[in-house]
Structure 1
Amino acid sequence: MIKRMSLISASVALGCIVTVAPVLTSIYIADEDAELREQEDLQQFAAKAVMRTELVTYQAFAAIADMEARPGGLCSPVQIAQFAHVIFNYRYVQDAGAYGGGEYLCSPLSGDVRAQHLTMPPPDWRSKDGYQLWYRQKNPVSDERQDIQIGRNGKYVSIDPQSYVDLIDPAQRPIAAINVETNTILALSSGADGDDMLSAWKLAGHVNNEQWHYAVARSASRPLGVVVKSPRSSLVGHWLGLLVMWLSIGVVVGGVLGWIAFRQISRQLSFPATLEWAIVRKKIDVFFQPIVRLTSGECVGVEALVRWNLNGRNISPEIFVAVAEQNGLIQPLTDLVLDKTLDDLSTLLRSRPSFYVSINVSSEDLRTRRFLNVLTARLRETGIRPAQIRIEATERSFMDADATRQTIAAFRDAGHPVYIDDFGTGYSSLSYLQTFTIDVLKIDKSFIDTIGQDAASSIVAPHIIAMAHELGVEIVAEGVERDVQVEYLVERGVQYGQGWLFAKAMRVDELVLWLNERRTVLQPIHL
């Protein structure tokens, strides 16, 4: 009897262990995964924050350059009026004026104060290109207000420090903007502790803190950096309570969880298999969205977009392309898109030598010449010019810089122009892009949507346009849906647009009908 009871007890104990151990292991793994995701999300937020500091500083420099370019006698009514014009035109500029001999001279807010001899302290920092910076300078017209003042050649602008850290963030995570040469805090968001954030910066974000995650980011073009932090969330903080709970639930919950896990694993395994089946049997479709010249409305080319209808349900490309990348299917998927594109558009491309189609290429195919070799072989003896097949790559594809740079150069040497797609979502800086030779930037739809709106992200589109002009590359604006966006883009020298204002993505027969209706060619197109 005792032996039997011992055997039953051992079986019950073993059953509990077998039931509880996977649960606790899952909790631990989930906690670690949550920690990693939180840190990655915080790092992306830091990248956004440092881009904001670049934009504010870029605007301050542009305002000073504008003031220097305007004629007028020192502190004359004409010059003060010009300074007021600068304040009105530049969103983050709170005041603009002249200084000299260690004194404020005049501004639209204070007027001509030369007779008052309002002194300016020595600058807190000087840049190598001649700018002077005062970190917390009292404004001449206010004893309470402290601004960041930036000056050069006798002209200065005042910037509200909060402009550097004023990001739309529902989580209200603390932010600090820092001058990385002097390790001095320029601005703090609400709830941020200066000593804590500066210490985290000096440790490059590697802070051993059980309550907070930290992340840092540094500008590639200016001596600016940011520190951000967010609260940690832990699944195992009350592990003893979780253990008791799972022991009480026992085998029943273990069986339910096992059944759910089996269903989830089966679903995950079957979806890649279904996608592979669709690729092999060419069940993936290719649609084409027109790209037009904004000044004339002429359709100059199209982008090939992959589509998949599974059992009457449209699967989002964001889902199945990600699955393809994770399961080694992205290269055959790209090859299928190329084959279908050439099958559909060969006649059109041969009849219009200036017309082109752009194809999205994965980061995997930007590290080697595999796809270039496939593309070269497919085009041989087709009569299609290499320049009519253009390569689109996202900013994420540029992470392996050395290999990507060589492959991009090989595409361009073979005659295929290279585009950066969804530009702005990866937060690339001008100095980073200058290391690559590309032909076109495509501005992401999220930034085009903010045109004409009073949103924090609305300042990104003009910044990207200015970067593209500095690089000497052409620009395609994605997601154009309103005439006011076209007017805005044309005024700023953006050459091309793509979006529902012009046409949705369509099959080749619809595309040909659409082109003929717009009379973009002399003779109708027949495929």
Structure 2
Amino acid sequence: MIKRITVVSASVALGCLATVVPVLTSLYVAKKDVERRERAEIKDFANKAIMRAEVVTSQAFAALNDLDQQPGAPCSPPNLEHAARVIYNYRYVQDAGAYADGLYLCSPLLGDVRAKDLTLPPPDYQNNEGYSMWFRRKSPLSNERNDLQIGRNGRYVSIDRGSYVDLIDPAKRPIAAIQIPTGTLIAVSTGADPGDMLNAWKQSGNVKSDEWNYAVAQSSTRQIAVVVKSPRSSIAGNWPKLLAAWLSIGVTAGALLGWLAYKRISWQFSFPATLEWAISRRKIDVVYQPIIRIADNECVGVEALTRWTLHGQSISPEVFVRVAEENNLIQSLTDVVLEKTIAQLGKMLVANPTFYVSINVSSEDLRSVRFLNQLTSSLAGTGIAPRQIRIEATERSFMNTEETRGVIAAFRAAGHPIYIDDFGTGYSSLSYLQSFEIDVLKIDKSFVDTIEQDTASSVVAPHIIAMAHDMGLEIVAEGVESAVQIAWLLERGVHYAQGWYYAKAMTASTLAPWLSRVHAPRQAVSLATS
């Protein structure tokens, strides 16, 4: 009897153990999984926060450089007008002006205050490059706000410190931005404890806490770091769901589907932030499509085209360029294309003075001379002639005639020929063309495709060609794919063509060998220097 009871008791105990152990194991695994996920999530959020901080800081320094481009007295009407454009063109800049000898001189918002003795105290920090920083500078225009002010060479810009921590975050996690050399707290989100955030930064986020997770991210290009923290989850409050997930295949399958939906939605919402990160880290690639002179099959230049690969998948330029335009990233994207083009093709352009590369710009780049200044600065000292960098813009970029005409004229005055890209797809007309000084029309591929076809749109290409000839413009046909199209274009006096009939877009490392093969032996020696 005792033995029977013992066996039954042991069986019950083993049964209980066999039931409890998997449950306890699942709870332990779930707890560790929750902790791991939370650490990964907050680290990801910290990386997004540092991207924002880099963008804000980069705009401040770019705005200062833009101010330096304007000659003349600091408070002259042209200088104040230029400073007003800087404030408008740079999203995070709140004010821009001049100072000297511990006094504000002027700005578009302050006006000319040289007679008012508005004092400017010594900077909180100065670096070896001549930049001065005031971390919490009280604006003369406000009794409430303290801005981050950066100055150099008697010029300054003011940044709302809140821009560093103003991220869209439904969880409202505390964020702080810190200037690394001095360990100064630049900005902190509402409700966050400044001392706690500084302490977390000093410990690289390794803070022992039962309530909070911390993460620190540091910029690789700027002397700035961010700290974020997020509340820890309570595993005890979630154990019924976790137990149900352990015991029920159906719930597990449902959770998996929910997780996949969450990942999909998260990817969609974070796409602009990911693109912003890719642009700031120069993860955007540039490829080059040859432009051929039809008369002798000579490659006279290339068009720089942007490409982006995310997680091994190629993202369509039509998608990410549109996202860049909608999220104020298009000018930064254009800057990256220019930077990489000069770095990759610089030697080739110097070695071949008649060879050129055309760069696509957006309507934003035609509303001010910001990109022209950037282009001029980038070419200085390279030996590349201005005519070797050509500017392409779509018809929609010309919609604001008055605003754009002066910028187009400035590009041409600086020696950069102007192309109208995808001509015929916008609101093309003779009167519209006559209002601008341009050099080249590019016929869109959709009209080239209709060559020698009996379709309603097949008359458009001949009309465009005739219009260009009447105006003395050169013509480039896009998307050429057959010898029949080439013969038709040559017969009608079209000068240049590009498309798969000649070559697909290729990397810089592939371009030089391709040119050598196509034009050997005439060009092989000169182009191999690239």
> Normalization by structure 1: what TM-score?
0.55
More displaced, 65-74 or 487-496?
487-496
CA contact (8 A) 2:279 2:333 kept: no
Asked if structure 1 preserves the Cα contact closer than 8 Å seen for 2:217 and 2:225, the reply is yes
Q: Counterpart of 1:223?
A: 223
Distance change in 2, residues 1:200/1:89 (3 Å): same
Q: Distance in 2 between matches of 1:461 and 1:33?
A: 39
Compute the displacement of 1:423 (Å). Answer: 11
Equivalent residue letter for 1:427: W
Residues in 2 aligned to 1:12 and 1:486: alpha-carbon distance in whole angstroms: 77
Residues 494, 175 of structure 1: alpha-carbon distance in 2 compared, 3 angstrom cutoff: farther
- The 2-side partners of 1:145 and 1:176 are apart by 17
User: Aligned in 2, Cα 1:85/1:222: closer, same or farther, shift over 3 Å?
Assistant: same
**Does the Cα contact within 8 Å between 2:362 and 2:393 map onto a contact in 1?**
no
Give runs of aligned pairs for residues 342-491 of structure 1, distance below 5 A.
Answer: 424=274, 427=277, 442-443=307-308, 447-453=320-326, 458-472=327-341, 488=363
Counterpart mapping for 1:96-495 below 5 A: 96-236=96-236, 256-257=247-248, 424=274, 427=277, 442-443=307-308, 447-453=320-326, 458-472=327-341, 488=363
How far 1:103 sits from its partner (Å)?
A: 0.5
C-alpha change, 1:488 and 1:75, in structure 2 (3 Å) is: closer
Q: State how far apart, in whole Å, the 2-side matches of 1:129 and 1:75 are.
A: 24
Change (3 A) 1:199 1:211: same
**Where does residue 60 of structure 1 map in the other structure?**
60
**Hey, what's the Cα distance between the residues in 2 that align with 1:496 and 1:32?**
54
Q: Confirm or deny: 8 A CA contact 2:60 2:93 kept in the other structure.
A: yes
- Partner Cα distance (2:253, 2:105) in 1: 75
CA contact (8 A) 1:162 1:188 kept: yes
In structure 2, distance between residues paired with 1:95 and 1:426: 24
Give me the whole-angstrom Cα distance separating, in 2, the residues matched to 1:263 and 1:85: 56
- List per-residue Cα deviations over 1:26-50 (Å, max 9, x = no partner): 1211221121122112112111111
Q: How far apart are 1:490 and its partner, in Å?
A: 8.7
Q: Report the CA distance between 1:489 and its aligned residue.
A: 8.7
Contact 1:174/1:192 (CA < 8 Å) preserved in 2? yes
Matched residue SS, 1:106: strand
SS of residue matched to 2:323? coil
- Alignment partners' CA distance in 2, 1:198 and 1:51: 19
What is the distance in 1 between the residues matched to 2:198 and 2:39?
19
Determine the C-alpha separation between the residues in 2 that align with 1:262 and 1:167: 33
- What is the deviation of 1:494? 9.7
Closer, same or farther in 2 for the Cα pair 1:423/1:195, shift >3 Å?
A: closer
Once the 2 structures are TM-superposed, how far is the Cα of residue 192 of structure 1 from its aligned partner? 1.8
Cα 1:24–1:226 change in 2 (3 A) is: same
Counterpart Cα distance in 2 of 1:145 and 1:262:
51
Matches within 5 A, 1:502-513: none
Question: In structure 2, what residue type is equivalent to 1:186?
Answer: I
Corresponding position: 1:93 with 2:93: yes
Residue 491 of structure 2 aligns with which residue?
none
CA distance in 2, matches of 1:58, 1:70: 20
Deviation readout 1:120-168 (Å, 9 max, x if unpaired): 1111111222211100001122232211111111111111001111112
Q: Distance in 1 between matches of 2:145 and 2:276?
A: 36
Cα offset, 1:487, TM superposition: 5.0
CA distance 1:441–1:38, shift in 2 (3 Å): farther
Kindly tell me: are residues 6 and 489 of structure 1, through their superposed partners in 2, closer, same or farther at Cα, counting changes over 3 Å? farther
Q: Unaligned regions of 5+ residues in structure 2, if any? A: 265-271, 289-304, 309-314, 345-359, 372-389, 395-421, 423-445, 451-478, 486-499, 502-530
For residue 323 of structure 2, what is the amino acid of its counterpart?
Answer: T
- Could you tell me whether the CA contact under 8 Å between 2:136 and 2:147 is conserved in 1? yes
Instruction: Please say which of residues 73-82 and 193-202 is displaced more in the overlay.
Output: 73-82
SS, match of residue 225 in structure 2: strand
Give 2:466's aligned residue: none
Kept in 2, the 8 Å contact 1:438–1:473? The answer is: no
Change (3 A) 1:261 1:237: closer
Contact 1:134 1:148 (8 Å CA) reproduced: yes
TM superposition shift of 1:433: 6.7
CA contact (8 A) 2:126 2:133 kept: yes
Structure 2 vs 1, CA of residues 51 and 447 (structure 1 numbering), >3 Å: closer, same or farther? Answer: farther
CA contact (8 A) 1:423 1:442 kept: no
- Indicate conservation of the 8 Å contact 2:276/2:329, yes or no: no
Q: Which amino acid aligns with 1:132?
A: S
> Counterpart of 1:157 in 2: which secondary structure?
strand
For the residue of structure 2 that corresponds to 1:88, the secondary structure is helix
Structure 1 residues 473 and 45 mapped into 2: Cα distance closer, same or farther (>3 Å)? farther
Over 3 Å counting, the alpha-carbon distance change for 1:515 and 1:2 in structure 2 is: farther
For 2:252 and 2:88, how far apart are their aligned partners in 1? 62
Tell me by how many angstroms 1:118 deviates: 1.3
Report deviation, 1:185: 0.8
Cα distance, 1:167–1:465 mapped onto 2, change above 3 Å = farther
Give the secondary-structure state (helix, strand or coil) at the position aligned to 2:81: helix
Kept in 2: contact 1:468–1:474 (CA 8 A): no
Per-residue deviation, 1:182: 0.8
Q: Which amino acid is the alignment partner of residue 442 of structure 1?
A: R
Which residue is equivalent to 1:9?
A: 9
Q: CA deviation at 1:237?
A: 6.5
| Alignment match, 1:355 | none
CA distance 1:12–1:460, change in 2 (3 Å): farther
> Structure 1 473/48 Cα, relative in aligned 2: closer, same or farther at 3 Å?
farther
Q: In structure 1, how many angstroms separate the alpha carbons of the residues matched to 2:67 and 2:192?
A: 34
Secondary structure of the 2:115 match is helix
Q: CA contact under 8 A between 1:447 and 1:460: conserved in structure 2?
A: no
CA distance in structure 2 between the partners assigned to 1:37 and 1:428 by the alignment: 24
Q: TM-score, normalised by structure 2?
A: 0.54
TM-superposition CA deviations, 1:291-313 (whole Å, max 9, x none)? xxxxxxxxxxxxxxxxxxxxxxx
- Taking structure 1 as reference, are residues 20 and 152 closer, same or farther at Cα in structure 2, changes over 3 Å only? same
Q: Distance in 1 between matches of 2:274 and 2:47?
A: 11
Q: What is the aligned partner in structure 1 of residue 496 from structure 2? A: none
Mapped to 2, the partners of 1:96 and 1:489 lie a distance apart of: 21
C-alpha contact 2:331 2:362 (8 A) present in aligned 1: no
For 1:496 and 1:27, how far apart are their aligned partners in 2? 59
CA RMSD of aligned residues (A): 4.4
Q: Provide, for residues 477-496 of structure 1, a one-character-per-residue CA deviation record: whole Å limited to 9, x for no partner.
A: xxxxxxxx995599679989
